[in-house]
Amino acid sequence: MNRREFLRKSLEGIVIGTIPLISSCGKNPVKSESVNSSSIIRDNIEYYIRIDKFEYKLGEGVEISYKVINLKSKGVSLNTYQSPEFNILIQKDEENIWAARHTFYFYSPGVTISPGETLNNPRGWSGRNSSPYIWDMKYDEWSEDNKGKLIEPAIYDIIFVVYSYPKIEVAVPITIIKN
């Protein structure tokens, strides 16, 4: 076992990154100088979300990248309870205002990941590597009161969700300011 593998195994289940761990987000926020990202490791599987900034001007597109990395030397199967197995949520004050996916099947064959494999922006068992999501800062099309309207300046949480047992959520906070 090399030093990197040793460190990853030693830190299993611990948030990777720097303080502050206490913020408006509350779901494993980690600050970095160059990108806004957060990562957790559970059972030697890393769940990671990244956006390129901490602060955006109202109306900018927010590119959301996320990945699942198998740190084990053998293949693993994620036991998921619905399909698609992954989602991106935008929340303000713990209320969903946007979701990448709305329609789900209440069955999932699970997602198998080879040793050392990284799934980039996975959409589920049928789409292993996809393009990042781009959020246009508008309320969700399913929002009754604000459908398609531009959001207001505030602090929001961007959450990568894995519908597994237990459910995994990794989040980063962003601040939206007026132009």
Domain extents in the chain:
3-177
The CATH architecture assigned to 3-177 reads Sandwich (2.60)
Average the pLDDT over each of 53-62, 71-80, 94-103 and give the range with the smallest value. Answer: 94-103
pLDDT in tens, 23-42: 334 444 444 446 899 999 99
> How many angstroms separate the CA atoms of 70 and 72, rounded?
6
- In 3D, which of 170, 176, 179, 173 has the Cα closest to residue 87? 170
Q: What are phi and psi of 141, to 5 degrees?
A: -65, -15
Q: In whole angstroms, what separates CA 63 from the centre of its chain?
A: 12
The mean pLDDT of 113-120, rounded to a whole number, is 93
| pLDDT > 70 fraction of the chain, expressed in percent and rounded | 78
Q: Which pLDDT score, from 0 to 100, does residue 168 have?
A: 96
Provide the whole-model pTM. 0.77
DSSP for 70-134, please give it: E-SSS-EEE-BSSBS-EEEEEEETTEEEEES----BS----EEE-TT-EEES--BTTBSS-PPEE
β-pair partners for 50: 37, 65
Structure tokens, 8: 């990853």
Mean pLDDT of 83-104: 89
Residue 136 backbone class (left: φ over 0; alpha: ψ -120 to 50; beta: rest)? alpha
